[in-house]
A and B are shown apart, each in its own frame.
Chain A
Amino acid sequence: DAGVIQSPRHEVTEMGQEVTLRCKPISGHDYLFWYRQTMMRGLELLIYFNNNVPIDDSGMPEDRFSAKMPNASFSTLKIQPSEPRDSAVYFCASSQGTSAANEKLFFGSGTQLSVL
C-alpha cells in the first residue's frame, strides 16, 4: 500500500484565497483525521471521520474551515477565505479498528501551507 497520500505538498497563496487540501487514506482504514501542526501549538486535531461520517469537528477553528469525505478513499479540507494565521503544516492520518483514539495512526506527508 502506498500509505496516506496528501496533495499538494506545498501551497503558497494570498490572504483571502480559497485553499483545498486533499487526502487519500489507506485502503480499508475506517478512520480519517485532519491535524494542523505549528511550532506554538503542536499537533492539533481539527476533525475526524468514521466510515466517511464526520464525528467530531470541535477542533475546527472557525467557519472558514470545512471538511468533507464523499467516499472511503478521498477527503478534502477547505479554507475559505484563508488568512496568514492559517499558515501551518496540515496532516491527514488514517487508522483502522474500533476506536478513534486507541489505534495506530498512519500519517501522510503533510501539506505545508503558507498564506501571504
Chain B
Amino acid sequence: QKEVEQNSGPLSVPEGAIASLNCTYSDRGSQSFFWYRQYSGKSPELIMSIYSNGDKEDGRFTAQLNKASQYVSLLIRDSQPSDSATYLCAVVRSSGDKLTFGTGTRLAVRP
C-alpha cells in the first residue's frame, strides 16, 4: 500500500463548479497534511495546510481532514480554468521527519 494515494485523474469539471480532490494515507499517526498545486512544467507551490480534524477554508479553497478515516480532501469552489493543474497531497508521517507526496490528481476546468 502506498503511503499517500491519490486518483491520478484527470478530473474534469465545468467552470464555476466545485472540484473535489481526495487523498488517503496509510500511517494512522500522520501529523500534518498539505496540498500543493503544480502547473504543467512548473514547480509545486503550497496552497493549503491542515493539522486537525474538520474543515479549513481559505478563499475558494477548503481542506477537509478526517483522521479516523485517514482521509484528506481539497474542495475548490467556483472552479476557474486557471485552476487547471496537478494537485499534490503531502503528509507528514508519525515519525515527523519526512513529507511524503502522493502522485497527484490532474484537474481540468472546462470553460
**Are B88 and A107 in contact (CB-based, < 8 A)?**
no
> Is B44 close to A, CB under 8 A?
yes
Decide if B63 is an interface residue (CB 8 Å cutoff): no
Q: Chain A contact residues (Cβ within 8 angstroms of B): what range?
A: 10 to 19
Question: By the criterion CB–CB under 8 Å, are B103 and A41 in contact?
Answer: yes
The answer to whether the Cβ of B29 comes within 8 Å of any Cβ in the partner chain is no
Are the CB atoms of A42 and B99 closer together than 8 Å?
no
Give the interface SS of chain A, mostly helix, strand, loop or mixed: loop
In contact, A91 and B98 (Cβ under 8 angstroms): no
CB-nearest residue of chain B relative to A103? Answer: B99
**How far is the CB of B16 from the nearest CB of chain A, in Å?**
30
Among A99, A100, A101: residue with most chain B CB under 10 A: A101
Which residues of A does B touch, CB under 8 Å?
A: 39-45, 56, 91, 99-102, 104-105, 107-110
List B residues at the A interface (Cβ < 8 Å): 31-32, 36, 42-46, 49, 88, 92, 96-104
